[in-house]
Structure 1
Amino acid sequence: MPRPALELADILRAHGETFRRAHAGHLSLGQLKVMSAIEACRTAALGGHVARCDDCRHLAVSYNSCRNRHCPKCQGAAARAWLAERQADLLPVPYFHVVFTLPAPLAAIAFHNKAVVYDLLFKAAAEALQTIAADPRHLGARIGLVAVLHTWGSALTHHPHVHCIVPGGGLCPDGERWIACRPGFFLPVRVLSRLFRRLFLEKLAAAHVQGRLGFFGELSHLAEPQAFAAHLAPLRRAEWVVYAKPPFGGPAAVLAYLARYTHRTAIANSRLVDMDDHAVRFRWKDYRAADPATGAVKLKTMSLTPDEFLRRFLLHVLPAGFHRIRHYGLLAKGPRAIDLDRLRALIAAQAGDAASDLEPAEAEPETTTLPACPCCGGRMRIIEIFGRGHTPRTAAGLPLWFDTS
């Protein structure tokens, strides 16, 4: 894959040190680590290896990746590895996509309390889905789901929301039968929204009572119980955004969708347009200007100062050890996990021959970790590995091809 004309790493290398000096004492250790990792990604600072073509003897140097989960260059390989593991988890049923979004007045609280509030967002969304699904008036079944946290909007603003990928059905209360949802419909969105709102606010208020929330600057007054209660009062009456998209076409479509969402970073290198000393320009989707008739979203170009661009990007650095992909219910992992083969048998028994209409996704063919030779397409073999900060000794003085893609 060719290297994009502009990468996030280029912006950090050009403006990162100035940003660090300007914000000294105001950047977390996690943010500083993310900046350093992306700056060093695919450079000699991380070491690498030399490969040689078996056919034409062409030599190529590849530097190591930083593997940081906030690095847009590294997440492609991570997503492929994760999806290979999820291949065995897919069920032969339609899948639905439900999005739970925190209202804007809670975003600032979430930013200063990421580990606590993002965790509550996960729990409230999962509990709302499982509770409504278990209600006999709706589905009356135990369901499973995969939830993925995103904290950004298209313009890199702080916009915490959780994407939930949910199989269209679940186990009946006695666990002996699969209950399928109605074709094209999973659960009522308004009912989900109301329960999600109540659950999240209850959990947030409990966290406040337990002293688990911190408030700083303009929000420092919210440390007082009365002020905090007054801040939440309008949110108890407001409509919260819960959005359910149409079901996927089948397991293959689910995998393709997960590939785009599970390991997405705040901004992809493909969205970057250009930069100079005064501005960074990138593409973004203006959802407010969407065509009311077709729903088409306008693609625009935004220009920010390098300082503001990096500030917005670093808003989305997650706490160390925080899991942004979680599994619940029937899809939960661990020693008490449900036998998925048994679920498939129950689904087949419930659906009869209809289940065969949803063919399992085909596994992608295995590929080598090394690219084909750029000269002749032959097989490349590693002949030297060099450490951090070192340069390759192989064929010193000979022309080498450096792969930084």
Structure 2
Amino acid sequence: MNILQEIFTDHYEEIKYTLHPRPAEMENIDKMINCGDPSYGGAMYGCIHCGNLKFVPFRCHSRFCPTCGNKYSMDRTTSMSFKLVNVRHRHCVFTIDASLRDFFLQDRSLLNCLFHSVSSVVLRLFSKMNKHKNFTPGFIMVLHTFGRDLKWNPHIHCLISEGGYSDDAFWRNVSHFNYTFLRNAFRTALLKEMLLRIGPSFKKVSARCYLEHEHGFYVYAKPNRCDPKTVTKYIGRYLGRPVIATSRVDSYTGDLVSFHYNRHEDDQYVQETIPVMDFIKRLIRHIPEKHFKMIRYGGLYARHRSIDKKLHLAISKEKRHTFRCFNRWRTAILSSFGYDPLICPHCKQQMVILEIYHNHRRVPLEELYEKAMSRSRGKRSSA
């Protein structure tokens, strides 16, 4: 068990009957707690040269799990890397006023408004930059609902190509983004969309936001522009990663949890100690509803037209070999930790899969090893 599994296991009944979690929260908690439990199935590997056995349990594949969430982030980074065209990209962060955050917490369907607003603003930005041709950029939006202190803070990370592709197959590079327009347009688009969804009761909040944010909501952009390979690795840290890494949890006493982070404003190291149920509430509120898409593609990257394929063939050749098979468990371990998990530690030969056990057949580990040993002996004799 890692420390998060220990915390949630110890307080499972209290979570279930006092916090009244959403079905999506409870489902991900159950998955995370049982992640890596051999009784839920796995694969038995064996070395046909020396008979060494290795049992690899199945994982939960939940983004809430610190192990599987990182794996999910790797997979999404791989998928994104093959989608990006080989041009510079700008990383922008669209933030909202603190008074609006609770609206998204109480009604999670409003999170769609964030995506719609960012998408419309980016497309309008490029539309204003060209009057004669319809240049369309490629952009990817990633929703984050948490800050470094784990509090509820929904915002959008957006990766935008520094250029657009016209309908007559012409690419135009763009090096200057109008951030004044982005700030004002994003504020207006989001408040209008929320007013339509919430109704007249939102008018006072909307008017106050216009008064307090005369120059629009804050839109942050990385000053350095990077090539697709570099920027994909950078934004990969935001793609479906777990709310908190186990390395950031410093201690757990049963009643209190201590964790640390570097404050975003000044990068100062901060350690916080809070009651364990408050810690759990901060974590589970960031679990999205089932089937809710936290990563969305817009503009050029959302289109699937034959004319766009020519663009990818023309300016995407270099990045096609950036990542290979990164979504496989074995390759992911090799890339992350520098060792091959299926190389026998005794004779340095490659291990082979002997048998797969599923969760509907609960088999004691002793029986698994006995069956695997018999199959390993058979393979060695046939070899």
Q: TM-score, normalised by structure 2?
A: 0.84
In the TM superposition, what is the alpha-carbon distance from 1:302 to its structure 2 partner?
A: 1.6
DSSP-derived class of the 1:74 partner: helix
Correspondence for 1:120: 113
- Is 1:342–2:318 an aligned residue pair? no
2-side partners of 1:10 and 1:361: how far apart? Answer: 41
Does structure 2 conserve the Cα–Cα contact (< 8 Å) formed by 1:6 and 1:273? no
Does structure 2 conserve the Cα–Cα contact (< 8 Å) formed by 1:330 and 1:337? no
Does structure 1 conserve the Cα–Cα contact (< 8 Å) formed by 2:229 and 2:322? no
Correspondence for 1:395: 369
User: Which structure carries more helix by proportion?
Assistant: 2
Structure 1, gaps ≥5 residues long? 210-224, 291-296, 349-355, 400-405
Instruction: Identify the match of residue 191 of structure 2 among 184, 190, 201.
Output: 201
Does structure 2 conserve the Cα–Cα contact (< 8 Å) formed by 1:144 and 1:329? yes
Correspondence for 1:88: 82
In the TM superposition, what is the alpha-carbon distance from 1:97 to its structure 2 partner?
A: 0.3
Letter paired with 1:232? S
In the TM superposition, what is the alpha-carbon distance from 1:260 to its structure 2 partner?
A: 1.3
- Is 1:49–2:43 an aligned residue pair? yes
Q: TM-score, normalised by structure 1?
A: 0.80
DSSP-derived class of the 1:110 partner: helix
2-side partners of 1:366 and 1:198: how far apart? Answer: 43
Instruction: Identify the match of residue 133 of structure 1 among 121, 126, 129.
Output: 126
- Is 1:364–2:323 an aligned residue pair? yes
In the TM superposition, what is the alpha-carbon distance from 1:360 to its structure 2 partner?
A: 3.2
Correspondence for 1:245: 222
Letter paired with 1:16? Y
2-side partners of 1:324 and 1:41: how far apart? Answer: 22
Deviates more, 1:106-115 or 1:384-393: 384-393
Q: Counterparts of 1:54-69 in structure 2 under 5 Å?
A: 54-69=48-63
Correspondence for 1:293: none
CA separation of 1:86 and 1:231: change in aligned 2, threshold 3 A: closer
CA separation of 1:385 and 1:74: change in aligned 2, threshold 3 A: same
1-side partners of 2:163 and 2:280: how far apart? Answer: 43
- 1:229-284 superposed Cα distances (whole Å, 9 cap, x missing partner): 11221112314111111244312102212321212121122322221112112221
Coordinate RMSD, CA, aligned: 2.7
Structure 2, gaps ≥5 residues long? 331-340, 374-383
Correspondence for 2:208: 234
2-side partners of 1:397 and 1:170: how far apart? Answer: 59
1-side partners of 2:313 and 2:48: how far apart? Answer: 46
Letter paired with 2:300? L
Letter paired with 1:262? L
2-side partners of 1:272 and 1:48: how far apart? Answer: 28
- 1:174-202 superposed Cα distances (whole Å, 9 cap, x missing partner): 533211012xx4x1222101000111111
Identity, % of aligned positions: 24
CA separation of 1:58 and 1:327: change in aligned 2, threshold 3 A: same
Matched pairs, number: 354
Does structure 1 conserve the Cα–Cα contact (< 8 Å) formed by 2:77 and 2:233? no
Correspondence for 1:384: 355
